[in-house]
Amino acid sequence: MTAAEKVGGAALVDFHCHLDLYPDHQAAIDRCEREAVYTLAVTTTPKAWERNHKLASATKYVRAALGLHPQLVESRSHELALWKELVDGTRYVGEVGLDSGPKYFRSLDLQKQVFGEILDRCAELGDRILTIHSVRAVRLVLDMLEARFPSGRGKVVMHWFTGTPAELRRAIEMGCYFSVNFAMLEGERRRALVAAIPLDRLLTETDGPFTQTLGRPSHPVDVSMAVLELARMHDIDGLAMARRIMRNLKSMIG
C-alpha cells in the first residue's frame, strides 16, 4: 500500500527528512518516488549538498535543501563560505537555525553569527524557503528573523516547533509555516500547541531517521500517521487533511 492509499489516495508531504542519513541513500530516495511522497531532503553540512542535489534532481518527488545544522556549527562553521557559494543554486535552505540546549549552548554565539549570515544572504537573494531548527531558542530565532529576513523575502517553516503558546502566536503573525511530525502529537501539551496552528500553515514531516515508527526509523511514507492524527484532531477525514497540506505546500512554494 502506498502512503497515498493510506489517506484515501491523496499525495503526501514530508517537508523535513534526512534522506542521506539512511543506510542506503539512493534506496531512500527511490522509496519516496515509489510511495509518491513529496519530500524535502535536508542537509546538515554544505559538503553534503552536491550528492543530495544530484540524486534529488533526477526525481519527481524529492528536492534537496542546503543546510548548516546549528548542532554542527562549532565544528563546521568554516563551511559557511561553501554554503554561500552554493545557495545561489537552490530555493530550499535547511537545516539551519539555533540550538541552546545543554550540549550546544556553549556555541550559541557562533551559531547566531552563522545563522545571521545565512539569513542575510537569503534575504538578499529573495525567494528562499527555510526549514528552521529552534530548540530552546524560539525567541532568539524569531528575533533574528524579524531583524534579518523580512517576510516578503521568502518563506519560513518552523521544524518540530516546541515554543510557548505566545511564541507560536508570534510566529503565526510573522507568517511562518510549521512542519509537524507524529511525535509532536503525543501528550496533552504538545497536542494543544499543534492544535493552535492554523490549518493553512500546516505541513507534515518525519525528521527521519531520527524519529521512530513501529520500533524502526521513520521513512517519509510514515508521514501518513501524522496526517491521520491531525485529521482526527480537526474532526475531518484523512483525505481532506492530506489535500489541505498539499494545498499549503503549493501555496508556499508558489
Domains contained in the chain, CATH given: 19-253 (3.20.20.140)
pLDDT, residue 2, reads 57
pLDDT at 21 over 80: yes
Quick one: pLDDT at residue 4?
Answer: 61
- Whole-number pLDDT of residue 9: 80
Average pLDDT across the chain, whole number: 97
- Res 41 pLDDT > 70: yes
Pull the grid cell for residue 113: 553569527
* Long-range contacts, 74-78 (Cβ 8 Å, 24+): 74/104, 74/106, 74/107, 74/110, 76/45, 77/110, 77/113, 77/114
Burial class (CB in 10 A: 0-12, 13-18, 19+), 217: middle
What pLDDT does residue 153 have? 97
Cell readout for 30 is 527511490
pLDDT digits (tens, 9 = 90+) for 68-116: 999 999 999 999 999 999 999 999 999 999 999 999 999 999 999 999 9
pLDDT for position 8: 78
What's the alpha-carbon Rg for the chain, to the nearest Å? 17
4 sits in which H/E element: helix 3-6
Query: Would you say how long the chain is, in residues?
Result: 254
